[in-house]
Every structure is written in structure tokens, then in C-alpha cells.
A and B are shown apart, each in its own frame.
Chain A
């Protein structure tokens, strides 16, 4: 029941996102055809663009075509010039694995650094480790990726040459972008782990576990952490969006292929169907990840399912 309700609300959100993405082209001031064709376009050129984008049909008809393209999985064809180009979906799904890899790598970096930092800070509250962890977390939240990503390139590629720089491929070339993408999430997770674990450590069952004479490591890692991680999982889901939108900036800095660079180059080409498609795909991924997190949460904490 819980699962079904969550899926239904997710489907509703995705439908809403598709409507909004569709309307985006029609709501905004100015004619997209003007934007595309430029000032001196002939009538034929304008008609060609209108026909390619389906703008010559009525709004409801356009929306049905748009939904049709979602259902058949092509997301339509590229405009202004579709000849010899893959469908919108094909172009987007060619880029998708690159961004997925980057986002997952960023998430791994975030979790690897955030959990130890948060745990140590919670255990040694008020110590210098705590101060260090809290300061790192605050800076990580505030640091703009537009500064952090270029600085990583300047320090670890241009100066120290420890890691490959922009445009390079391979595993080592993933390290700097992963750090750039994951820093924000790392900061949020470290903060959450610290406050959540600190709270749990004051609970009765933790005192019981200690009273039983369990070793401290076991008390913290098994009894306390398991409960403390629940809010942390939620943050991972909510902040997954920060990985996706961070990827747009990081892919730009490191000249990596992916959804972000596809979106940006589509904007430059004024290839509106691709812009629409990419926005739709990124938002859908985000909604799906959040459903997944909710479901996982329900499994870890059965109380949620009965709400």
C-alpha cells in the first residue's frame, strides 16, 4: 500500500514535470522561432522550423504529440535540422552513463569522507576533531562549485600533476570531477551524521548496550549508527539533485560528456527538443531516486510504512 501510494505520487510528479517542460517553450515571452531563425529569416525558413518543432499544430495536438514521443521512448527528433541525427532520446541516453558514473563516484566520495568525519565528530563532541569536522562541513556547503572545480584543476592537475585534467578519460580522470561533484553532499552528510548520531548516543538502548559490556566500537557502529543513519539516507536522496545539477557545472569545467554538457550544447544549438528532453530526463531521474529512497526508508523503518 505504502509502495503503491508512493509510486502514484511519483507518477503524478513526473506527469507534472512533463507538462511544465512542455509548457516551458510556450509560456515564455517571445517566439522560439524568432529566437531560432534570427531577424532576417525567410518565410520558408520559419515554416521549416515551425514544422520541425510541430508549432504549426494546435497546443493540445502538440501536447499529445509530445506525450506520444515520451511513450514511444524517442522523445521526438532534433530540431532545427533532424536529418541524419539520432532521436532526442538516443542523444540523451548516449550521454546518460557518463553523468551516472560521475554522480555515483561523487556519492561514493561523499559517503567515504562524510561518515568517518561525522562519526568522529559525534563521539568527540567539542574536541578539535569536532571543530574541524564542523568547519569543513560548513565550508563544503558554502563553497561554490564554480570556484572549487577550477581550483582542483589548478592545484592537482596544473601545479602538482597528480591527476589527469580536463578532457582526459579513464579512471584517474574521474577522481577530481568526483571530488568537485561530491563535496556539497559530503558536507551535508557529515553534518547530518554528526547531529543524528549525537542524538542517538543519548538514547536508553545505547546505555543498555554499554551496560551489557559490549565493546564501544560495537555499540557505536551497530547499535547507534544503524538508527542514526535513517535521516542520513533521506539526505542522500534529497541531495541527489545536488549531484545532478553539480554535474552540469563540473562537466563544463572538466569538458566531460554527460547530461549537463548535452543540455548546455543543446542550448547553444537552440535545439529545443533536446533541451526539453534533457530537462525531462534529469527531473525524472531525480523523482525516481527519491521514490527509491522513500521505499528503502520504509524497509529500514517499518513505522514509516504504516503512516
Chain B
């Protein structure tokens, strides 16, 4: 069977985001480091020179969008890489060894899942004394690995009953060899689906934290743009564009990730087709 059209659309949407992240700072029409005369250049509307206008500092909105794409891409790649590594390891170990190891690890997963949405992320960012990019990564990974662990454990519980695993164990393969060579490669499919969804999730949470004014005050991230828009919401005409530009960008990535993730899941497991 082939990948569904909506999955392809999602793939293209994510592709555009990755390209914008890679090339953004190079193709951005304006340099972000230039200090502008705010009395003349701030709060401009859409024009030929500034397609989406400028912000309170007179900086070009389109350029901020493109620089923001770079930040979002870097952050989501780091967080997805760390979370999936931790999660897949924990899930594989729990599912393979079972017993108390499984019990302890899964209780930890349950506890982390008892914090709804961004609450734990907020709590971590809030208590750290010196917020930097590392804090955001820590906060996002702290519960980000849980989803991967559940996926990996579920897969391993099914895989461990397979004949080839029994064969490997009978031949004297060590636990480590079974996990690395026989289990991990076979659970990569569902893991990649989870990673695809993860991209959207990371960007959404990072933007929410920045929007609430928590964590490092990084310049020109999409969340920081939304925060600026909210603070100046009384400037009605200007703020519509300045809210829509980063907002639609976030929505674009999340939608692309969801479409591609859904499509990949159906592709890998046709029985799940059309379900929630």
C-alpha cells in the first residue's frame, strides 16, 4: 500500500519547515542585529519592503519568522533526539526484563503522565535559577521521553514472543545483543511515527512557555513573537498580522506533523486505518 495523499501533504509541509529552518537566516531579507529607529520604523503594516510589516523594534516580521524557524528546528531536533533515545531505551529495557524493572519504570511513566499538558514543563522552567536554552531542553525532555517509552515497551512485549527472538536467546545471545540487534530495529517504525508527532508537540510547548514569559527570553522565536503581540494587543490592526504570522507558522508545523504521523501510522499498521 502507498502513503495516503494527506500524509504526503503533511510531509511536504514539514519539508517546507525544515527548509525554512535550514535556509531561513540566509534568505531572510533583513539582518536581525541592526538597531532600528523605532520612531520611524516600528509597527509598520504590510508593504513591498516589509511583506508582513515590522515589530515594536522596527525589525522585519518576515525575517523574524525565518530566524524563528531556525530556532524551532534546532530545538525540536535536539529535544526529539534526546527524548526518543531515553524513551526507547527505557521502554525496551522495561519490556524485555519485565518484573520489578518494568514495574518501577512504568510507575515513573504513570507519575510523569499525571501532570497534564505543559504543567510539568512550566514547573521545571520556573524553579531553575538561570534560564538558558538548556533549561528549555531539560524541561521538554523531562516528560518528552514518556511517549517513546510506552511505544517501545508495547512493541517489545509483542516482539519478545517472536520465534526469531527465542532463536537468538537459544543461541546464547546476551540481553544487550537481543535488545540492540533484534528488538530496537524492529520497533523503529512506531518510534518514527511517535517522533513525527513529537516535532509538532515540542514546537507547541516551547511557544507556550515563551508566550507565558517563562524560560530564557530568546529573541525572535515564534513564541516570543506571540508574546509581544499579546502585550500590544490594543494596537488592533498591527497585532492581527503579528499574531497570525507566528501562529500560522506553528499551526503549519503541527498540522504537517500530525498529517504525516497519521499517514505513517496507517502505512505501518493498516488495521488502524481511519481510527481516531
Contacts and interface: CB of A to CB of B under 8 A. Distances in A.
Nearest to B126: A267
B239 interface: yes
Given A154-B233, A158-B236, A248-B212, A17 B129 contact: no
A150 B248 contact: no
Contacts of A286: 114-116
Contacts of A275: 123, 126-127
A263 interface: yes
A253 B255 contact: no
A151 B255 contact: no
A187 to B, nearest CB: 11
Contacts of A97: none
Interface in A194-233: 195-196, 198-199, 231
B254 interface: yes
B276 A192 contact: yes
Chain A interface size range = 35 or more
Contacts of A231: 276
A282 B123 CA distance: 12
Nearest to B123: A279
A248 to B, nearest CB: 7
Given A150-B239, A159-B236, A248-B212, A13 B110 contact: yes
Given A146-B207, A146-B223, A283-B116, A30 B129 contact: yes
B274 A198 contact: yes
Contacts of A159: 236
A245 B116 contact: yes
Contact of A147 (B116, B122, B129, B251): B251
Nearest to B115: A283
A82 interface: no
A20 B208 CA distance: 22
Contacts of A142: 200, 251, 254-255, 258
Question: Which label, helix, strand, loop or mixed, suits the secondary structure of the B interface?
Answer: helix
B130 A141 contact: no
A12 B129 CA distance: 30
Contacts of A25: 127
Interface stretch (A63-71, A236-244, A295-303): A236-244
A235 B116 CA distance: 13
A231 B226 CA distance: 35
Contacts of A12: 107, 110
B122 A263 contact: yes
A34 interface: yes
B246 A147 contact: yes
Contacts of A235: 276
A72 interface: no
Contacts of A196: 276
Contact of B233 (A14, A138, A153): A153
Interface centre among A14, A16, A28, A287 (most CB of B within 10 A): A28
Interface of B: 107-108, 110-112, 114-120, 122-124, 126-130, 200, 204, 207-208, 211-214, 223, 226, 229-230, 233, 236, 239-240, 243-244, 246-248, 250-251, 254-255, 258-259, 274-276
8 contacts: A12-B107, A13-B111, A16-B114, A25-B127, A32-B127, A34-B129, A283-B114, A287-B114
Given A20-B111, A246-B117, A264-B212, 9 more contacts: A16-B114, A146-B208, A150-B233, A151-B243, A195-B276, A231-B276, A244-B117, A245-B119, A287-B114
Nearest 3 CB-CB pairings of A with B:
A241-B116, A147-B247, A245-B117
